[in-house]
Every structure is written in C-alpha cells, then in structure tokens.
Amino acid sequence: MLKQHRELSMSIHRTIENNDEAGIRPSKTYQSFVAAAGGHRELNFIEKDVRNYITREVRNVSEQEDAKEFGKYFLRMKEKNPNFFFELELEEDQSIKLAFWADARSRAAFEYFGDVISFDTTYNTNRYNLVCGSFVGVNHHGQSTLLGCSLMKNEEIESFKWLFQCWLRCMGGNTPKGFLTDQCASMKRALESCMPTTVHRWCIWHIMKKIPSKLNRYKGHADIEQQMSHVVWNSHSKDSFDRNWNDFLLNFGLADNKWLSDLYEDRHIWVPIYLDHHFWAGMRSTQRSESMHSFFNKYITRNSSLIQFVKQYDNCLGSREQAERESDAVDFHTVIPCATKSSIEAQFQDAYTHAKFREVQAQFRGKANCITRLKNSALGYSVYEVREQVSSSIFNKFASKEILCRHALSVLSFEQVSQVSPRYILERWSKKVKRRHTHIKSSHDEPLMEPRSKRFDQLVFRSQNICEFASESEELTAILHRAYDNVMAEKEALKAKRKGTSSLSHEDANLESVNELQSPPRI
C-alpha cells in the first residue's frame, strides 16, 4: 500500500489507455484488473493510481495545446481521406469561435439520407462551455445516422447562419426537404435565411412537454393538458384544427394566454396536420439528436478537452456504422415471414429492410379492423369510406412516412388489387440498393503512440497467438516455457553488456533513438 511499492506495468498502461479511448470509466477499468488478478490483494496498485495515470498521462492536455491538438486532428483526418471536411471560425486572438466537421462517410451518406435532418444543441460537452450541435438523419433501417458535428461559442443568429451555410457547402449545396429543431428563434431565423425552400418543423415533444409548467396556474390544468393534446393529435384537417383550438381556448378561458397565442401563430411549423403532407422519415421530434448527445454525455464532462470530445464523436460514428452494417447483414441473410397471404405484403417483404417491413406489417394487421365501402364513383376516380373499429390508433399520412397506411391497404384489398404500383415501394427503404457510403470507413484517429508502446502492442499480439496455440497440450506449453527461459537469459546478458555509458552519433541516429532520449536529472 506504500506509494513507493505501487507501480503500473506497461501492460496495465496500455489497457488503461485503450479503455479510456473506448469511454470505459476508470472504476470499471480497475475492477477488470481486480477480476483478472483474482482479488485486490493480488494487485500492486490501487484505483487511485489508475485515475492519476489517466489524469496526468492520458488526458493531460493544457488549454493552449488543446486547440493545437484539435487542429492537428482535423489535418490527420484530411490526410487519411481528402473528403474529410472541416472549417473553423476564429476570434481576433485566434481562439476557436465556431467549428464544423463531417467525415467522408457522413458526406457520402447524405446522398441517401439527407432528405430530413434533425438538429439539436447541448452544452454539457467540454471545459470551454462550447455548444455542441449535431446533424442527424435517418437511414434505410430507420436508425439514426450522423451527418456532421459543430461546436459554437454562442447561439446567436449569425453563428447559426455560419454553421448552416458551412454544412450546405460540405454537402454540395443540396438542401434537405425537411429540417427539425427545438423551439429556438435564432435557429428559425437562420434557417429561413440559409434554406428558404426547406420545410422547418419544431419538435412537438418539446412543446407538449412545456404544457404543465406553462399552464399549471390554471384551475383544472390536467384537463387542459389532456384536451390540448387531443386537439393537436386528433384534428384531421387544418379547418378542424382551427375550430377545435378556438373551442379549446373558449372552454378553458385561455384566449388571453400569450404562450398559446404565439403557438397558434406558429402552428404551421409544429402541428402535425399542417406538416404531415411532407416527408419526415417517421420523425416528429429532435430526440434522435438528443440520443446522440446522451451518448457523448456518458463519456464527456464539463472538464473534458476538445481532443477528448472529437475522440468520443469518432466512437459514436463507429457505433452508428457498425449498427448499420449489422442490420445490412441480417437483411441479406434472413427473411421475415409474411403475416398474411397478400401478394402486396410479399412485394414489400422482397424490397424493404426488415425494420421498414415490420412497419408495413403493422399496417396489414391494422387493416383487419377496417371496414371499407364504396361511396360513389365518377369518371376517373372513386371515393371510399373506411371505418375503423379501433378508434384510439394514430393516423399517419403516406406522405409523412411513405409507407402505405392500413386505410389505403383496405381499399386495395376491397378492389382485389394484387400488386401496388412501384411508386409506392421506395428506394429510400430498400435493402437492395448498393449505397456508396457503405464502402467508406467512418473517421477514427489512430492513437499517437510512442515507439515503445507500439513495440509492446506488436509483441503482445504475437504472444497471444503463440500462447493460444501452445496451451492446447502440456508438451507445447513446456516448449514455450523453455523458449521464454532462453529469452529471459538473453535479456539478462544484454542488460549486463549494456551497463555503463553509450553514445549516439549522426551515423546511427534515427527518429526512434532520438525519441528515447531523456532529460538530465533535475537539480
């Protein structure tokens, strides 16, 4: 337990470094050492030593060096793949004001998944209190995919304008069809300026979550919340929403409430009936962006450096890439059986990813509750009435998710249609499209190891393979032990030979030998 008797071996150092890179907490790392050794008493160090090593050696980045390392990271990524994109806006003193970056894979993925974007900001990221913003899309499996990251000193209109223009340049000037944000006036103004043709939507979850705090001073606020929710979700036309909203205000005496008046003025950017004729890839909230931020927040604290942040962003990119690869593999090798004998269902089974086909199957199941009748038929079109026996289910338009709803399927069944037009089977959700971005690795920085660490890792890798082979029998294990004994004897002989002084001349000096030079003892 005495400090002079406690030490961390090279093997322990490398495990700590790798675990920190992977976002594993120091306490978990220490517990893994305890488990491997067979108890605390078998270790010649304590948990505090692990934490001290991380603080002093792994994360020891000064604020001056941090920005330089941040810039060097971008240059390394650009060197690895020229399609890596980054831009920095600096203050007069050369400190970072705004930063944006997107790796080559994200830029290629935008081609397929850049139609609808969720953008959200969070503060809890770094020691400089910079605002982190992430651009998130939806892939063909309905999974979140990262399409760029930013750090900003403030949330002013000009900052968002710089960021959105930078992001559009990165993505070849192509604007998305839809853009989801939280209820931020600065973002709204910046979007109107930078992407005038893009449909902007506020996160409805954020708005509905505010109801209790905004209206709790009114009598019967629980009934108010329930009625407002009913009006927002169950109005099936713009006119019916306007009527229902006015009735709601009159019934509860809320006509003078400014918050509700402002919401009504902006109804076209948050109420579903005003927006669901546009494509949203199934998104109505910014929770996808927030889930990305919760990933960062597991491993990043307010004391984290910029270089730690980009490393965790790399890890997040890698986890998203792996999730997509695994889903692609499952779709390629397995089939979800059809729930009905419908040839239309079989069409979607053949074309769609498993995740999207399950959504189609949910609509087929809902079709069982639908009763269809032909109301009238005129030249060129027919009008049907579909009555649903289950009244509590939420209605989705085809345009919003681009998946045929149970009411449309009920009409097709009523008319005995056996195949739907290809226009209703979208490439967006197809498992058969060869997408360019799947051949590009997400960006990941290689650890800048000193030569000794590199040599150590190479030796450990080879040793593990030899040990795995030798452990198959007692004879092979004995051979390996004899080889180890010979190596140890040679090592001791070399140490004895090296005792004393040594020299380094220009003829035999190289980068590796210079890296091993040590400072004279401090006086």
DSSP 237: S
Q: Looking at the DSSP assignment, which residues form a beta bridge with residue 199?
A: 178
Per-residue pLDDT of the chain (523 residues; tens, 9 = 90+): 787 778 888 888 888 878 887 778 888 988 988 888 888 888 888 888 888 887 776 566 666 677 888 888 899 899 889 999 999 988 888 888 899 999 999 999 999 999 999 998 876 656 778 888 899 999 999 998 999 999 998 899 999 999 999 999 999 999 999 999 988 899 999 999 999 999 999 988 888 888 888 888 888 888 888 899 999 988 889 999 999 999 999 998 888 889 999 999 999 999 999 998 888 888 877 776 666 666 666 666 666 788 888 888 888 888 899 999 999 999 999 999 998 889 999 999 999 999 999 999 999 998 888 999 999 888 888 999 999 887 655 566 676 778 888 999 999 999 999 999 988 999 999 999 999 999 988 887 766 656 776 777 778 778 888 888 888 889 888 988 898 888 888 888 887 776 655 555 555 555 554 455 554 554 4
For 76, phi and psi rounded to 5 degrees? -65, -40
Which residue is listed with tokens 């090279």? 10
* Rounded Cα distance, 273 and 267, in Å: 9
Contact 277, 175 (CB under 8 A): no
Q: What is the DSSP string of 8-76?
A: --HHHHHHHHHHHHTT--HHHHHHHHHHHHTSGGG-SS-HHHHHHHIIIIIS---HHHHHHHHHHHHHH
Instruction: Provide the angle, in degrees to the nearest 10, between the axes of the packed helices 406-414 and 354-367.
Output: 60
Q: Which of 280, 317, 267, 271 is nearest to 117 (CA)?
A: 280
Counted residue by residue, the chain has a size of 523
Q: Which of 204, 198, 395 is nearest to 278 (CA)?
A: 198
Q: Which of 164, 177, 70, 72 is nearest to 121 (CA)?
A: 164
Sign of the dihedral defined by the CA atoms of residues 352, 358, 363, 368, in that order: positive
| Whole-number Cα distances in Å, 244 to 240, 256, 264, 268, 328 | 6, 17, 12, 16, 45
3-state SS assignment for residue 79: helix
Q: What is the DSSP string of 359-381?
A: HHHHHHHHHTTEEEEEEEEETTE
Outline where DSSP puts E strands in 313-422.
Answer: 370-378, 381-388
Please name the amino acid found at residue 457.
D
* Rounded Cα distance, 234 and 122, in Å: 32
